Structure 1
């Protein structure tokens, strides 16, 4: 997979695109090519290797052998360098002792399928193609999309054949003397028809974060490095700007291949995790979502005033099994409170006052939706009840069987998920602090009062007894009608730790569960307890490990002072990263790690790279160093894990209130903070 959002290319390991599964060139959710099959002198080359050259580029190497050669060694080497959003270069190298006159053909075809159709395993009918009038290209055009492929490098102009099933470029006489090489070039362009107006596109400016230098555990260093590279490839930019001459508003697409677009919760979480490297990404994400904040009641979109977007697509799409989603869809219960918290945390990290003040009305409208939705609920919780043909479950665990009880029975909405109540509480208390700092004390007091009431209701409704568990009770994944709690331990409770909705004893109880054998696989945090019926280590949400979910739990454990438990999960996650080349998949198998057990396996349809998985390295780094800025009194604290767990750790290139910052912990646990700007002070570890 190589990515340069909104484009990507999915290829098999031999580089030959044959129209199978999800392979092909893509742009803006449209498959531009599904077939690009190379034949030299009547045969396909033999694949011998594949090498990623960066997030957006990969090289495939193959060879061609010929009868009559003096040795069994291959005499023709073929290198195909494929670039997302570009095309490919085919380099032919004669490493033999004889002159070769090659007959090279490249067959091309497409169905111009929407990504939703590809995800369902569908391959559409072949779209007929036509030769360009100048003879240097092939064109496909249908009512939903278009593709143009141009070929040509130097004087090697191909012969072009078109037809109803696709087209072929043929170079009939490529002369290569011993030691010579020739390069053939292709460019692939296209997209949806008509092009969606105002839709995000590839950014034109650099990534909106600093480049850190991390020293310490090699696994963490590599996870951060690879993650930042993937995040650069996943960037998109809103074509609108708050100031025509101002910076682009960039954000992180959710993941490749299925969600290469603006996703409320995913883009927000990625921006939250990246705040230690500056507030520009948070700013862009907030503005991209604020411009699309709900303004009216629309049943099909599930839009409501103040509600934050769930996902943005170029067009409405059928996803199968009765699921039909509009291009602009608001069916998410968590994106709205998370939007508020992103603004609050960006404020703490030094988002400039003009941006904070301009975005504050959007946050207040979002918080009003949260409060009013809770007030309309008979139990006072933030609950979801989807429309027909919409997403059944509307938080990050959104698969059809995402919520099951301890017997394995599926539980249907309406549901109030535990972590969503934590998000709402955190949004309310954080926004109250921001409003108070702006002098709006009455509005702040009302939010604090509302949040205190929600916290009490939560404590009364969500705890379930567990006499035989690692702790005497646990937090239910959700409560349904009549406050019926959904039994069975799940990872959701880990996302409560940093929200403030739990007291100290509750945090210690959750910590015991997260590191128990039921939830800690040894490679990361399972989404569902392995002791429950229906546990499946390779299900979407029924036992697999999600990278971001584990990272968020580690952040919460560190914030709660549960450093030993945090290190257990962090060490497992970092070990898992070594088996994935530090490009963490969206999710992977939750099988137990034992002596001699196989490496963890990626979920077959997992996004990789994926936004919040790629940002999880920075989340771990920030959590393990305990970075805690507070804009109210302009203080900065670093409360790291004990040095005996992870060892010395330092990072330069952090950014607080626009100024570079370095934080280092030595082998004795001594912490040094350098670069605090005027007006900020180091509050130590207190």
Structure 2
């Protein structure tokens, strides 16, 4: 029987990238599912069980103390007691990247004599195996006696990993024992008088073996964005606040050196894709997180761009799907088998969208005020990326940016990358080679944006060449992607993709929402797409469905066949606001914000696409969804910027504002934004009057639709 991917809906995850811990709600790690302490994709410990007098404590509560810590509370009861009240309280505080503290407190009136045992075991498994539901053979540990550097310890070694748990602080030294399947710390007699406590702190450490060269490292304590103060919709405030806290825990940094000598540092920060499955550098995901956070400064974008630039493709390599100019998709400590025939090398370039998104991140960062020295240094990498885009498109018989996956690699190479991500209106799987609609939009946006940047550098001829190419792509897109329909909110929609011979893939999907901000659609096209995004087929009431609910094969809990993706909805809100479709934007934003309430503002990677009604239950997270997840956590800032209508233009030194009318979602203000190094505040009051303070010297405002204070 095939092993199944572990479900995460009831798992407590604490993260301090590159480390995390995944725990059941009672705190006992039993070696099942995804249980364990992890670091750099390696499971260091999968069993950590506490027994008191031979029994497990009874759980009564669990609470996250921050993104990196969680507290489990249990009680230990005695049948002989004359009271039903618990008298022995057990608290375990688990901290990602550190270990665990176990505390016992006697709140009764009787002295207790306790027998305590902590059991430990591990398989030192790779996260890819854990994701497939595989548990390896438990490894035998070795015992280390207490010394000047710390208490007694257990150590596990394998060909691929090393793990160690030691008693860092303790009231009494344990007896340590080893076995073929694990080890124990035991205290045969712990006397605990009324009102007294007992405590031990366990340090859990380890690493992959050998240490992966050039792999991301822990970020410096300094966070590369500002902390905004928001007033307005309480749901938006909660979403931004919780999202930024999670993003702090998902930060990684680049300590590598590229072939041309560029060295990273702990301040070259980026956002890991998500925990637990993708706690590493993912080109597409890290780029989107950085784009969404640009209103809070350009430093994260800078770190993300340099991290990816140092790994930009330089040669043609079939297994890695590397090509000169191509931007990395995924970085792992080692090659991994992911099931279903998927085997990826540690450095893998198999995405069609990361490369144009890299170019657009540099352009957007330039518009938000990235210093000229960084723009000029990164520009050659963007030009090489654009050369890959143009060459790949020109080599296609239809002149589109299409992907041709290699055997063993990802079948679909966009953000919808599951094996059944592309289906037609009849529910049939459509196989590559495919040209996806949003990817053509990304390529168009990259070309036109880079052309603007080149004009600012007096490279007018190269800029004109790019604009001519983009104009041709837009014409080809318009001819190939629109599908006429007799039913629906508009008489046409954009196909999710076109295959060979320009055959469009039928069936409305959310992908078209990501086109709105790219410029590839004309005014009428934006209106038609907006109508579809607002329709009940795609708008679940909790956010944007990945696939229409009106077509066969719709599944509200399918990874890409009907679920709602947080970032996808936020990008659609951005596009709707940017193209003046404020009513549709407000409807989608309201659904996303209402869903956020039910998830305690920690938005999962994706969640169920069931319709929201007056009596419907709260939305359900996809059972194996990452949470926290990078672009989901960043989506609150993206929605904030969209509702305020912020569109900066550094070369013209102008801030364009098109805020949402307060009649739609209420008054809104934000201070602590960052523009060209200056602190910016924007306020839209209940009457629609807009006040902007803190504009950089020499900057002006371009505001429509509201009064300006």
TM-score if structure 2 supplies the norm length?
0.96
Match of 1:213 in 2: 229
Q: Residue 532 of structure 1: which of 526, 529, 551 is its match?
A: 551
Q: Deviations over 1:622-644 (max 9, x none)?
A: 00000010012110022111010
Residue 125 (structure 1) aligned with residue 137 (structure 2): yes
2:254 corresponds to which residue?
238
* Distance in 1 of aligned mates of 2:266 and 2:191: 50
Asked whether 1:67 is paired with 2:79, we answer yes
Contact between 2:538 and 2:544, CA under 8 Å: does it hold in 1? yes
CA–CA distance in 2 between the matches of 1:456 and 1:104?
Answer: 73
State the match for 1:16 in structure 2.
Answer: 28
Give the C-alpha shift of residue 248 in structure 1: 1.3
C-alpha contact (below 8 Å) 2:254/2:264 kept by paired residues: no
- Select which of 26, 34, 38 maps to 2:46: 34
In the alignment, structure 1 residue 563 sits paired with structure 2 residue 582: yes
Match of residue 603 from structure 1: 622
Q: Please point out which of 124, 132, 157 is paired with 1:141.
A: 157
Does residue 124 of structure 2 align to residue 95 of structure 1? no
Residue from 179, 187, 193 that aligns with 1:163? 179
Query: Which SS does the other structure have where 1:194 is aligned?
Result: coil
Is contact 1:638-1:671 (8 Å) kept?
no
Give the distance between the partners of 1:308 and 1:34, measured in 2 at CA. 35
Distance 1:247 1:125 in 2: 36
Unaligned runs of 5+ in 2: 1-12
Question: Could you report, residue by residue, the CA deviation over 1:441-480 in whole angstroms, capped at 9, with x for unpaired residues?
Answer: 0000000000000000000000001111110000000000
- Secondary structure, aligned partner of 2:217: coil
- Offset of 1:235 from its aligned partner? 0.2
Indicate the residue corresponding to 1:395 in structure 2: 414
SS in 1 for 2:642: helix
Aligned mate of 1:516, from 527, 530, 535: 535
The structural deviation recorded for 1:416 is 0.1
Matched, 1:109 2:121: yes
Aligned partner of 2:243 in structure 1 is 227
Q: Deviations over 1:136-162 (max 9, x none)?
A: 000000001010001142442111011
Q: Look up the SS of the partner of 2:247 in the other structure.
A: helix
Q: Report the alpha carbon displacement of residue 594 of structure 1 after superposing the two structures with TM.
A: 1.4
Q: 1:190 aligned to 2:206?
A: yes
3-state SS of paired residue (1:162): strand
Quote the offset at 1:206 in angstroms.
Answer: 1.1
- For residues 486-538 of structure 1, give each alpha carbon's deviation from its aligned partner in whole angstroms, at most 9, with x where no partner exists: 00000000000000000011000000000101101010000000000000000
Aligned-partner Cα distance in 2 for 1:605–1:113: 18
CA distance in 1, matches of 2:616, 2:181: 47
TM-score, length basis structure 1: 0.99
Structure 1 runs not aligned, ≥5 long: none
Equivalents in 2 of 1:89, 1:457: separation in Å? Answer: 61
2:200 & 2:704 partners in 1: Cα distance?
A: 60
Match of 2:656 in 1: 637
Q: 1:618 to 1:245 in 2, by over 3 A?
A: closer
Asked whether 1:44 is paired with 2:60, we answer no
Deviation at 1:205, TM superposition (A): 3.1
Q: Which of 455, 463, 481 is the matching residue for 1:436?
A: 455
Query: Equivalent residue of 1:574, what SS?
Result: helix
Is residue 302 of structure 2 the alignment partner of residue 283 of structure 1?
yes
**2-structure distance, mates of 1:319, 1:666:** 51
1:619-634 alignment, distance < 5 Å:
619-634=638-653
Q: Is the contact made by 1:263 and 1:312 (CA closer than 8 Å) also made in structure 2?
A: yes
Measure, in 2, the Cα distance between the counterparts of 1:225 and 1:73: 38
The Cα of 1:98 is off from its aligned counterpart by 0.7
Shift of 1:247: 6.9
Aligned to 2:5: none
* Residue matched to 2:490: 471
Where has structure 1 moved over 4 Å in runs of 4 or more?
241-247
Give 1:246 deviation, angstroms: 7.5
Of residues 62-71 and 244-253 in structure 1, the stretch that sits farther from structure 2 once superposed is 244-253
Contact 2:171–2:200 under 8 Å retained in 1: no
Per-residue deviation, 1:402:
0.2
Please identify, of 636-645 and 54-63, the stretch whose mean Cα deviation from structure 2 is larger: 636-645
Distance 1:613 1:22 in 2: 21
Alignment map for 1:476-515 (pairs within 5 Å): 476-515=495-534
Stretch moving more, 163-172 or 414-423:
163-172
Distance, in Å, in 2 between the alignment partners of 1:245 and 1:282 is 14
Question: Is the Cα contact below 8 Å between 1:289 and 1:309 reproduced in 2?
Answer: yes
- Give, in whole Å, the separation in 2 of the partners of 1:287 and 1:558: 30
Q: Give me the whole-angstrom Cα distance separating, in 1, the residues matched to 2:310 and 2:621.
A: 36
Is the 8 Å Cα contact of residues 474 and 509 (structure 1) preserved in structure 2? yes
| In structure 2, distance between residues paired with 1:349 and 1:385 | 35
Q: Mapping of 1:420-459 within 5 angstroms? A: 420-459=439-478
CA distance in 2, matches of 1:246, 1:394: 30
CA distance in 1 between partners of 2:91 and 2:683 (Å): 44
Counterpart CA distance in 1 for 2:168 and 2:225 is: 38
Distance 2:702 2:426 in 1: 49
* 2:171–2:199 contact (8 Å) kept in structure 1: no
The CA distance in 1 between the partners of 2:316 and 2:180, in whole Å, is: 45
CA RMSD of aligned residues (A): 1.1
1:152, 1:158 within 8 Å by CA — same for their partners in 2? no
How far apart are residue 68 of structure 1 and its match?
2.3
Q: Does 1:174 align with 2:186?
A: no
SS in 1 for 2:604: coil
Look up the match of 2:166. Answer: 150
> How far does the alpha carbon of each residue in 1:27-66 deviate from its partner, in whole angstroms, 9 at most, with x for none?
0001111110100111100000000000000000000011
TM-superposed CA distance for 1:332, in Å, is 0.2
Q: Distance in 2 between matches of 1:563 and 1:322?
A: 45
3-state SS in 2 of match to 1:239: strand
Distance 1:59 1:99 in 2: 26
Check the 8 A contact 1:6/1:28 in 2, yes or no: yes
CA distance in structure 1 between the partners assigned to 2:387 and 2:262 by the alignment: 27
Matched, 1:297 2:313: no
